[in-house]
Homo-oligomer: A and B are copies of this chain.
Amino acid sequence: MGNSTEPRVVVIGGGTGMPVLLRGLKDLPIHLSAIVTVADDGGSSGRLRTELAIPAPGDIRNVVAALSDAEPMLLDLFQHRFAEGNGLSGHSMGNLLLAAMASMTGDFYRGIKEISRVLNVRGEIYPIANHSMNLHAEMEDGTVVTGESQIPKQNKKIKRVYVSPTPVQPLPEAVHAIKSADLIIISPGSLYTSILPNIIIPEIGEALRETKADVTYICNVMTQEGETSEYTAADHLQALFDHIGNDVIQSVVVHNQPIEQKYKKAYARENAEPVIYDIDRIKSMGIKVIEEDIIDHSQPMLRHDTSKLAQLLHSML
């Protein structure tokens, strides 16, 4: 990191997919930047943003943990979640540290930088915005739902998502990172609630259009109830196109192997199914398809294989 001749790779996302991807990328000889959503309003993050008037820290916390080279005990502490305590229960230590740092400095992004320094984080972490933002979804039936955590719970087909206040001012450093990147990766993760809240911000969309870097989307392997039920890979892409136009993304990475029965069973409980990789339709959309076996077959839950993905992405530079 920090070597100015290293290729500049930007990952945009949030949720649980992003840290998996970043763990693989962090040891490559690249200048890595992570641009992370702050639109969460559920759980510990949601309580902190409401009570302390800070952007939601949870997605950032998981990215800090993924990119940190700190000793395991310290990371365990950072990720520790209080199980008891009036008002403490459910809060994770890392969220509290980010919140305290934001309160102390009056600047959420500066707080992230300080925590990143202390935890020996490799690469740069940028919150998509340095202030709170809200996510709204307009459903196919015309109803509007507010709140990232509420949207998938409706179990309705989502027409579009948008953020407020309008216009959201993205972090200037995030915009700059996109414009000066050599490769931009749209992370796997909840399509409407972790990925789109970043890229639908107008200035971020413009930067993605302006950058000379290729933009590649790593498609989810499983559908997600209340967001992408029955979505094929092309449907994921189409949802992105519907929000940001069809001139932003150049390629998509899809998993091209059948999903093993053990995973299907586990995910059936969440009404999640393998995403069908309808390659011909993607190609007809003018998008390059990069297909590979990209899951980690040794994990009890379905996870991208962080090393395989990292090597694949590195080969694209």
Contacts and interface: CB of A to CB of B under 8 A. Distances in A.
B88 A97 contact: no
B93 A51 contact: no
Nearest to A73: B114
Counted per complex, copies of this chain come to 2
A186 interface: no
Contacts of A51: 84-86, 88
Interface in A34-59: 47-48, 51-52
Contacts of A103: 80, 82-83
A104 B83 contact: no
Nearest to A90: B87
A101 interface: yes
A52 B85 contact: yes
Contacts of A73: 114
Contacts of A96: 88, 93, 96
Contacts of A88: 51-52, 87-88, 91, 96
A86 to B, nearest CB: 5
A52 B80 CA distance: 14
A84 B50 CA distance: 10
Interface in A90-118: 91, 93, 96-97, 99-101, 103-104, 114, 118
A87 to B, nearest CB: 1
A101 B86 contact: no
Of A52, A99, A100, A104, the most chain B CB neighbours within 10 A belong to A100
A73 to B, nearest CB: 6
Contacts of A99: 82, 85
27 contacts: A48-B85, A51-B84, A51-B85, A51-B86, A51-B88, A52-B82, A52-B84, A52-B85, A74-B118, A76-B104, A77-B97, A77-B100, A77-B104, A80-B100, A80-B103, A82-B99, A82-B100, A82-B103, A83-B103, A85-B87, A85-B99, A86-B87, A88-B88, A88-B91, A88-B96, A93-B97, A93-B100
Interface of A: 47-48, 51-52, 73-74, 76-77, 80, 82-88, 91, 93, 96-97, 99-101, 103-104, 114, 118
